[in-house]
Amino acid sequence: GESVGLHLPTLSVQEGDNSIINCAYSNSASDYFIWYKQESGKGPQFIIDIRSNMDKRQGQRVTVLLNKTVKHLSLQIAATQPGDSAVYFCAETSPYGQNFVFGPGTRLSVLP
């Protein structure tokens, strides 16, 4: 079936560097995408979203890029901090948003 996947299961970055987490999706009908951050023992935390009629959206220290041509989504975190260490999930949904499909997650480790 349709699924969302991630290129890199783990990512280690130096504190202060920028992080890029990638995600590939397979459902061309998906029109809305969310990035979530999940810390140990907690539920996923909404970071940023993007609709399919956009190719870039910026938040506070985060940017999401969407390339519909190659069905690729990325999350950029500027000036990565220790508090950014967590598992990051991308999720997609098709119109009328009943079913969000999550990828397996990427663990981001921030090195001092």
Give the residues lining the site for other proteins (CB under 8 A): 4, 32, 34, 36, 41-46, 49, 89, 91, 93, 95-105
Judged by CB, which is closer to other proteins: 16, or 40? 40
Name 14's Cβ contacts closer than 8 Å, sequence gap at least 6.
Answer: 80, 110, 111
Give the three-state DSSP class for 88. Answer: strand
| Distance from C-alpha of 92 to C-alpha of 74, rounded to nearest angstrom | 13
Judged by CB, which is closer to other proteins: 19, or 93? 93
- Token pair in block for residue 51: 């609709």
Closest CB 17 distance from other proteins, rounded Å: 25
Closest CB 33 distance from other proteins, rounded Å: 10
| Distance from C-alpha of 23 to C-alpha of 75, rounded to nearest angstrom | 8
Closest CB 101 distance from other proteins, rounded Å: 7
Judged by CB, which is closer to other proteins: 80, or 93? 93
